[in-house]
Amino acid sequence: MKKISKRVVCYFSSALLITIVFSPFIESAYAYEKVEENPPQLTGTDSIEEVVEAMTTEEKAALLVGGNKEVLEEEFNEIIGGQSTKVPGAAGQTQEIPRLGIPSIVLADGPMGVRIDSERENDNNSYYATKFPSPNVLASTWNKDLVTDVGEATSNELKAYGIDLLLAPGMNIQSYLLNGRNYEYFSEDPIVTGEMATAFVNGVQEQGIGTTIKHFAAYNQRADNNIDAVVSQRALREIYLKGFEMTVRDASPWAIMDSYNKLNGTWATENEELLKGVLRDDWGFSGIAMTDWEFGDRDIEEQMRAGTNLLMPGREEQVQGIFEAVNGGGLEEKVLNNNVKEMLGIIVQTPTFKRETPSNNPDLGEGAAISRKAAAEGMVLLQNNDKTLPIDSSHSISVFGTPQVETKTGGRGSALVEAPYEVGVPEGLERAGYQLNSDLFEKYEQYVEELRGTEEYEQTDGDFFSATYPTLPEMDVTEEAISAADKTDAAVIVLSSEFGSYGSDRSKEDYYLTETEREMITNVSKAYHDQGKKVIAVLNTEGPVETNSWSEHVDGIILSWQPGQEFGNALGDVLTGDVNPSGKLPQTFPVDYEDLPYADRYPGDGQFVYEEDIYTGYRYHTTFDLSSEYEFGYGLSYTTFDYEKAEIIGDGFTDNKIEVSATLRNSGDENGREAVQVYVSAPDGKLEKPELELKSFDKTENLEPGESEELTFSIDEKTLASFDEDSSSWIIEPGSYSIKVGASSKQIHHEMEFEIDEEIVVETVNNVLSPESPKKTDNTFIWPEKTNEYLTFKDISDQFWAKNAIEDLASREVIKGYAYDNTFRPNDPVRRGQLIAMIGRLLDWNTTETETEFDDVAQDYFASPFISYASNKGYIKGFQDGSFRPNEPITRGQMAKILGKAFDLPTEETDINYADVDLDMTGGATISYLSRHDIVNGYENNKFRPGSELTRAQFAEVLYNLGNHLEQLQ
């Protein structure tokens, strides 16, 4: 059907104006609504209620789906709004509604700077942005003030280019080393993550631009976006949600982005327990939740009801789906209105709404200076044998490694920033004053040029989401090493690990250097060491790599991560000593990947159970005595620090917190800064505890030799507490607590103890997000035990077509008959309450809660526990009048829809054999699945009769067939 994108106005009288408002998203059949002649205008927060009341259903639906009228359906795989038309290259935008004064706002990536196109059609101007260091570099600085500066600089560029909402920062925990997007995140530790994200968000939002924290939640791999992450409530609260909670409470981000994956059996974007129970109810979040790009096509009703406000980047059918769900009674008007109000609450804060004019001329010089500072401060000195570093700039250097030609300054996908320039390693070292071996560099340039256009050079097949970008194979440098050692005073070897793509994870092999790289290190080191000269390795990687097998061959190792456009300059600053490295690791470097507890399980197949629970990263290494190559918090300096004193301030734990002071003195010969870390070892009680956990950190000023500084740390009761699943509470258990002040998770310099006399309940929260019973998923289905093998009903003959199903399910107490006359009444209709109870018994739902949200379901009603459970999980919904109508018959189509949700059945996106069923109708996709697997049968004349009442015998047969099907799948 042809789409119409114009406005037709018909005047019927001077008193009444009827407008048919058309959008590119809505078929004309849905668009006819009366509107006011002089509608209210969005003027600010106070006008939101009035504007929402004046909006048509179509307008409300359009506001909740990203897109722009000018974007053609054929573009970007038919994704509407896949790119902004207001700011070319930006990720997307919302729909404007001019009738009500609602503007379209622009959303842009990303984690390393503003991702937009640097060139525009028919425009000679350039639109570059600063490429800042990756978030794991920022975390390595352990400098919250500097991260705030990066946020402010990013915000200034966003504002200059007319962007309202930044799709960053990423906050997922680096709990799995091969996650292809770890570089977009800060740390394996939730406190570092929360503090750094809070600093960044505050920096951005102080300038009037919004941020979007992401990906919510437990998005710790990229290999399978549809993975079901199974995580305990305690691990979620203490590890995977903790950073988000800190940032929501301390920085009030405007938006949060749902993750692609399932969390404990439910899609994150449909997870009401996550988006309402935790995010809004427990934490008080007042912004909007949006889907991630391209995967916003989950169940529209469930997304809206769960608290997802914005479906991005926007599809035509999503607007239609919202419109039809509301008008068909499937989606309550109050849910829609609430989502719209929250959207408008963000829009009125934006520069676009305030009619600020973009300058398109940001101060890129300021951005470059901050990027360089952050890159240098985020470099981690891993090894410095015999004080090899710093190297005086009067020395000559030979640079080895193909990454010197195509340096990895940043990530791909959403992290791809078009900067005005990028400073590679050779250029940066020359600027620092070093004389370079130009002959060697020319050989590398020639080698890389010959690789261009080959399979080794080009990205693999794929699009924005799935392409990989391989590291170039190393050049054989045996002869070059010997020759270079004769010509130069020192060697710098640049090493890069394989990138996990935007659409995949790194492989196990990517953790290790290649044989050619190891041979290069051996050959270069031997040639230089034979002449008494030094060799420095620079790790230009997105994550940890193995160093144990080769580190003894080099004199120094500098970890640069992906340091942004100023890489070469920042490296020169560190090598010369102009900047004394003060970076420390926010992630553990294991000795060997195979040592890790998840090495043989990651990334999982369809489901991934977080078996380590709360013992992620250094928590696992320290608690279970697993050696690490470089521990969490580790990093060397060109100077030394004496931890002269540390003590508890006052009388211990008072006023709901404990405070600690630590005094450090620069005991070396160079100026320098030190990141001081405060850990706590808590006593085991009813809850196990890790050996130690980071609770606070700070960084000294740049201290001169002999200079001292006192730092003060405050640990509040929530930070000190552990999560108790039994009571759904944050508690501080009684016993002796040890505070440990040190330079890393292993280098502890002072320990102090304090006592907690009795258990303290800090906060009780919603009891949600418990991992689902294994019966819920098709590959772990378990039949209930039979309790009566010989149960029969007098109205079910031996020849009755559903006899086996009825008697089998009855023997398992899934279905029940009528005791007073021992009948089953197979041809009676199934009531809504009966159906939910039968499903609940089959899946062994936890039915301790009897109170429901429905006015007509009493607590003593036999099915109320099952109805309560199903409603809380989003498997069922009531009517607009607040009722459930448990005694009304249920239809065959309604049955299919509920089964699809309760059993999490796959949907069949194929043609259906029934003439009266299509995929878009209630239960249509599930009917396809059930039919193709012979779980349901239709009637003659190729009819399914989805609107017909479901009989008790029919439903027994369906449940029996479905159970057998799921059992066979195992």
pLDDT above 70 (res 909): no
Domain assignment present for residue 21? The answer is no
pLDDT, mean over the chain: 90
Q: Looking at the structure, tell me whether residues 265 and 326 fall in a common domain.
A: yes
**Helices and strands (H and E) in the chain: how many:** 25, 30
pLDDT at 83: 73
Whether residue 313 has a cis bond before it, omega within 30° of 0: yes
Q: For every residue of 704-772, which 3-state class applies, written as one string? A: CCCCEEEEEEEEEHHHHCEEECCCCEEEECCEEEEEEEECCCCCEEEEEEEEECCCEEEEECCCCCCCC
Strand locations in 668-707, DSSP E? 675-681, 693-699
pLDDT above 70 (res 14): no
pLDDT at 168: 98
Q: Greatest CA separation found in the chain? A: 102
* Helix or strand holding residue 628 (H, E): strand 628-630
Q: Looking at the structure, tell me whether residues 538 and 655 fall in a common domain.
A: no
At residue 889, φ and ψ (nearest 5 deg) are -65, 150
Report H helices in 452-560.
Answer: 478-487, 515-529
How many other β-carbons are positioned within 10 Å of the β-carbon of residue 806? 26
- Cβ 733 vs Cβ 683: under 8 Å: yes
Domain assignment present for residue 791? The answer is yes
Strand locations in 64-138, DSSP E? 92-93, 106-108
- Cβ 374 vs Cβ 153: under 8 Å: no
Nearest to 178 by CA among 474, 511, 460, 604: 511
pLDDT above 50 (res 4): no
Instruction: Please report where in the chains the tokens 């795989």 appear, as a residue.
Output: 77
pLDDT at 782: 85
Rounded (5°) CA angle 542-466-445: 55
Nearest to 788 by CA among 805, 812, 757: 812
Q: Looking at the structure, tell me whether residues 879 and 750 fall in a common domain.
A: no
CA 520 to chain centre: 38
pLDDT above 50 (res 79): no
* Helix or strand holding residue 344 (H, E): helix 333-347
Instruction: Please report where in the chains the tokens 């039915």 appear, as a residue.
Output: 847
Model confidence over 345-383: pLDDT tens digits? 999 999 999 999 999 999 999 999 999 999 999 999 999
pLDDT at 429: 99
Q: Rounded to whole angstroms, how far apart are CA atoms 282 and 729?
A: 11
Q: Looking at the structure, tell me whether residues 126 and 82 fall in a common domain.
A: yes
pLDDT above 70 (res 252): yes
pLDDT class for 777, splitting at 50, 70, 90?
Answer: very low
Q: Looking at the structure, tell me whether residues 843 and 786 fall in a common domain.
A: yes
pLDDT above 90 (res 294): no
Q: Choose the most confident range, by mean pLDDT, from 237-246, 647-656, 788-797.
A: 237-246
Q: Rounded to whole angstroms, how far apart are CA atoms 658 and 147?
A: 26
Nearest to 538 by CA among 562, 554, 559, 521: 559
Domain assignment present for residue 264? The answer is yes
Phi-psi region of 618 (alpha: psi -120 to 50; beta: other; left: phi over 0): alpha
pLDDT at 785: 86
Model confidence over 305-327: pLDDT tens digits? 999 999 999 988 899 999 999 98
Q: Looking at the structure, tell me whether residues 673 and 698 fall in a common domain.
A: yes
689 vs 924, more confident: 689
Q: Looking at the structure, tell me whether residues 43 and 122 fall in a common domain.
A: yes
- Cβ 671 vs Cβ 705: under 8 Å: yes
pLDDT above 50 (res 75): no
Q: Which two tokens stand for residue 519?
A: 């041979």
Q: Looking at the structure, tell me whether residues 759 and 782 fall in a common domain.
A: no
Domain assignment present for residue 591? The answer is no
pLDDT at 315: 87
- Looking at 58-72, 535-549, 753-767, which range is the least confident one? 58-72
CB < 8 Å & 24+ apart, contacts of 879-882: 879/329, 880/329, 880/332, 880/333, 881/855, 882/853, 882/854, 882/855
State mean pLDDT over 125-150.
98
Model confidence over 951-961: pLDDT tens digits? 999 999 999 99
Q: Looking at the structure, tell me whether residues 928 and 958 fall in a common domain.
A: yes
Domain assignment present for residue 33? The answer is no
Report strand pairing: 435-436 vs 396-400. parallel
DSSP state of 334: H
- What is the three-class DSSP state of 220? coil
254 vs 407, more confident: 254
pLDDT at 492: 98
Residue type, 394: S
pLDDT class for 22, splitting at 50, 70, 90?
Answer: very low
Q: What's the CATH code of the domain at 248?
A: 3.20.20.300
Alpha-carbon dihedral of residues 675, 140, 678, 625, nearest 10 degrees?
Answer: -120
Domain assignment present for residue 459? The answer is yes
pLDDT at 380: 99
pLDDT at 77: 40
pLDDT above 50 (res 7): no
796 vs 849, more confident: 796
CB neighbour burial string for 856-872, b if at least 16 within 10 angstroms, e if fewer: ebeeebebbbbbbbbbb
Domain assignment present for residue 86? The answer is yes
Q: Looking at the structure, tell me whether residues 79 and 222 fall in a common domain.
A: yes
Boundaries of domain holding 791: 774-969
Model confidence over 445-503: pLDDT tens digits? 999 998 887 765 555 444 444 444 556 788 988 888 889 999 999 999 999 976 544 44
State mean pLDDT over 21-43.
63
State mean pLDDT over 893-922.
79
Instruction: Please report where in the chains the tokens 């980071």 appear, as a residue.
Output: 694
Q: Which residues contact 544 (CB under 8 A, 6 or more apart)?
A: 177, 511, 587, 588, 589, 590
Q: Looking at the structure, tell me whether residues 433 and 568 fall in a common domain.
A: yes
709 vs 412, more confident: 709
Q: Rounded to whole angstroms, how far apart are CA atoms 119 and 216?
A: 33
How many other β-carbons are positioned within 10 Å of the β-carbon of residue 1? 6
Q: Rounded to whole angstroms, how far apart are CA atoms 80 and 328?
A: 25
Over its C-alpha atoms, the chain yields an Rg (Å, rounded) of 31
State mean pLDDT over 39-57.
97
pLDDT at 788: 76
Q: Rounded to whole angstroms, how far apart are CA atoms 538 and 14?
A: 76
- Cβ 90 vs Cβ 339: under 8 Å: no
- Cβ 483 vs Cβ 474: under 8 Å: no
Question: Domain tally for the chain?
Answer: 4
pLDDT at 778: 35
Nearest to 893 by CA among 950, 939, 935: 950
pLDDT above 60 (res 932): yes
pLDDT class for 118, splitting at 50, 70, 90?
Answer: very high
Nearest to 386 by CA among 555, 638, 580, 576: 555
The total number of residues shown for the chain amounts to: 970
pLDDT at 874: 84
State mean pLDDT over 913-929.
79
Q: What's the CATH code of the domain at 737?
A: 2.60.40.10
Which domain-ending residue is among 764, 788, 820?
764
Q: Looking at the structure, tell me whether residues 412 and 458 fall in a common domain.
A: yes
DSSP state of 954: H
pLDDT at 942: 86
Q: What's the CATH code of the domain at 390?
A: 3.40.50.1700
Domain assignment present for residue 616? The answer is no
Handedness of CA 255, 147, 697, 202 (dihedral sign): negative
pLDDT at 257: 98
What is the side-by-side strand order in the sheet with 735-742? 693-699, 675-681, 735-742, 748-756
